[in-house]
């Protein structure tokens, strides 16, 4: 278990269904101690960390964009994605969960942390794809 220390600032993420795959993109982290990014996902409509699957590790020099069909085999399938910033100290912080529904709409949620694991939705924006 990691001790207390600097925790990364999460990156802002966009995610949408585009033709044949979900496209997850983010801006480069401003963290000086950034080591890499990890794209994680969970099939279904709710993101639960204990059930997440690591899809890809991306170096800071790599493209900040990943295409995947994980869990999106048929129309209407839903997957929730998060991008984690991992520091050299191995501390990490995940982005806001992004929901992608194959062939339908994607919703992005901007949340604020209220305390130990609590989130509050403060904005919801649908995008057609």
Alpha helices in the chain (DSSP H): none
Is position 122 within any domain?
Answer: yes
The whole-number average pLDDT for the span 84-104 is 92
Q: How far is CA 64 from the centre of its chain?
A: 12
Pairing of the two strands 98-101 and 78-87: antiparallel
Instruction: Give which of 16, 25, 38, 22 is closest to 72, Cα–Cα.
Output: 22
Is residue 4 predicted with pLDDT exceeding 50?
Answer: yes
Pairing of the two strands 105-113 and 119-128: antiparallel
pLDDT per residue over 83-92, tens digit each?
999 999 999 9
Predicted pLDDT of residue 108: 53
Is position 2 within any domain?
Answer: no
Residue span of the structural domain in which 28 resides: 13-128
Where does the pLDDT of residue 118 fall: very low under 50, low under 70, confident under 90, or very high at 90 and above?
very low
Is position 4 within any domain?
Answer: no
Pairing of the two strands 98-101 and 53-58: unpaired
Predicted pLDDT of residue 68: 97
Q: What is the CATH number of the domain that holds 88?
A: 2.60.40.10
Is position 17 within any domain?
Answer: yes
pLDDT per residue over 25-81, tens digit each?
999 999 889 999 999 999 999 999 999 999 999 999 989 999 999 999 999 999 999
Q: What is the pTM of this model?
A: 0.76
Q: How many domains is the chain partitioned into structurally?
A: 1
């Amino acid at each position: 278990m990691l001790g207390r220390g600097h925790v990364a600032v999460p990156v802002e993420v966009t995610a949408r269904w585009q033709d044949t795959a979900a496209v997850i993109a983010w801006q480069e982290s401003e963290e000086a101690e950034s080591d890499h990014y990890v794209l994680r996902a969970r099939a279904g409509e709710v993101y639960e960390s204990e059930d997440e699957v690591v899809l890809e590790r991306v170096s800071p020099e790599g493209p900040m964009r990943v295409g995947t069909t994980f869990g999106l085999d048929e129309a209407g399938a839903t997957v929730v994605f998060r991008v984690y910033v991992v520091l050299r100290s191995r501390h990490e912080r995940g982005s806001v969960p992004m929901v992608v529904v194959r062939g339908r709409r994607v919703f992005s949620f901007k949340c604020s942390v209220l305390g130990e694991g609590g989130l509050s939705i403060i904005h919801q924006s649908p995008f057609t794809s």
